[in-house]
Copies of this chain bind each other. A is one copy, B any other.
């Protein structure tokens, strides 16, 4: 069986998801080419040895450049903080190696454009971890629409709502622009722009208005530490016991925008971090002339479907449990019907598709490339422009 050596650049939360994926893909699946967990390159100060041992990487390293340069490495996978995506990605492309990179691919639109351009020039395969595309329900929705089952697409409604950033949560790095890069918009709207482009097959033509707000404008500064690495509950308790010093939040916590697509359909987008009651509600609804679908990541194994071609008396919103090996993408790799999969399986399935593409087979559903990620980032940039200039923005204004 052919093999490819993977070099992982970075650790952290996403390093964990990716490591799990590279390990599990050979157990659950039969990829066209088997990934080998060759090297993980950590940042100075991280316990890269412990990480490598726990997750099964053969070689821990503290030199990402050497890792990328290592001729044994066939695929570079990048999970560093966002603003550090570009250097290793460029290095890998320059070295003629395919790259998989966490989303968003870059800290600025200009960086994203250069990365997409370089990938195109080099003719190398690039992959971005918009992992939600590979939830079986989402991949199935993509296939339904692509095969015309919903007819002409008229409406897209996408929201990504969370509630972890209540006003009692104290100041932390995520609320500082210089540390986090962006707020709810870059973190959440990025996902739903990608997912709606993917599922509904639509491209934005014009932003018809937007707001970008920071609803909780100040947060209490913790006495004795930044709160890094402790849970939200502990953070809130620590905040309650701290003094009365407040600092300004410098990222947005809610951004919404309206769009017109090139095909004449219209859409609404919203990201929020104080939408009380929503934990990870990456949700969309798409209405076509022949039917509609709805999805929420909080019930990621389900797709809701309304088929307007059925006899009128039995039309209704149908809750499809997308766990059927014969009918729903990726499921055959895991468990029998009615046995749920979770968040991590989206990553395993993306690892599978990456290996299949690198091994000469097709992905089950299209993988997002650097250019895809760049197009998505253009939409986000245009929405911010609309919000700040209080006017509509045509997509051609932003590149």
Interface residues of A (CB under 8 A from B): 13, 20, 23, 26-27, 54-56, 140, 144, 152, 154-155, 157, 159, 162-164, 166-167, 207-211, 213, 215, 231-233, 254, 256-258, 260, 264-266, 268, 270, 272, 274-281, 287-292, 297-301, 303-308, 311-321, 323-328, 334-345, 386-387, 390-392
Residues of B near A265 (CB, < 8 A) are: 215
Is the CB–CB distance between A312 and B233 below 8 Å?
A: yes
Tell whether, in the assembled complex, residue A320 and residue B314 are in contact, meaning their CB atoms are under 8 Å apart: yes
User: In the complex, what residues of B have CB within 8 A of residue A232's CB?
Assistant: 326, 337
Q: Which of A210, A290, A305, A343 gathers the greatest number of chain B CB atoms within 10 Å? A: A343
Complex: A164 Cα to B308 Cα, angstroms: 11
B210 touches A338 (CB 8 A): no
Interchain CB contact (< 8 A) of A209 among B144, B209, B319, B325? B209
If A211-B260, A335-B342 touch, whether A287 touches B275 (CB-CB below 8 Å) is yes
Look across to chain B and name the residue whose beta carbon is closest to the beta carbon of A279.
Answer: B338
Q: In the bound complex, do residue A306 and residue B320 qualify as a contact, i.e. CB atoms below 8 Å apart?
A: no
Looking at the assembled complex, report how far the CB atom of A167 sits from the nearest CB atom of chain B, in whole angstroms.
6
Could you say which residues of chain B place their CB within 8 Å of the CB of A272? Answer: 155, 287
Contacting A392 at CB < 8 Å: which of B164, B277, B390? Answer: B390
CB distance from A198 to the nearest CB of B (A): 18
Q: Bound state CA distance, A297 and B316, in angstroms?
A: 16
- Distance in Å from the Cβ of A334 to the closest Cβ of chain B? 8
Q: A313: which B residues are within 8 A, CB to CB? A: 140, 320, 324, 327-328
A264–B215 alpha-carbon span in the complex (Å): 7
A316 / chain B contacts, CB cutoff of 8 Å: 303-305, 318-321
Nearest CB of chain B from residue A154's CB, rounded to whole Å: 5
CB distance from A310 to the nearest CB of B (A): 8
Bound-state Cα–Cα, A152 to B159, Å: 21
CB neighbours (8 Å) of A299 from chain B are 299
Find the residue from A268, A316, A387 having the highest chain B CB count within 10 A.
A316
User: Quick check: A268 and B270 within 8 Å, CB to CB?
Assistant: yes
Q: Is the Cβ of A325 less than 8 Å from the Cβ of B289?
A: no
- Indicate whether A300 sits within 8 Å of B340 (C-beta atoms), given known contacts A264-B215, A268-B256, A287-B277: yes
Q: Which 8 A-B pairs have the closest CB atoms?
A: A209-B209, A280-B338, A279-B338, A313-B327, A277-B306, A316-B320, A316-B318, A318-B318
The answer to whether B209 and A280 touch across the interface, beta carbons within 8 angstroms, is no
Say which residue of B257, B314, B321 sits within 8 Å of A305 (CB atoms). B314
Query: Bound complex: CA of A65 vs CA of B233, how far in Å?
Result: 50
- Complex contact A319–B317 (CB within 8 A): yes
Check A213/B266 contact, CB under 8 A, given A164-B337, A335-B342, A342-B342: yes
Question: How long is the Cα–Cα vector from A162 to B287 in the complex, in angstroms?
Answer: 11
- Knowing A208-B211, A289-B276 are in contact, say whether A281-B315 is a contact too (CB < 8 A): no
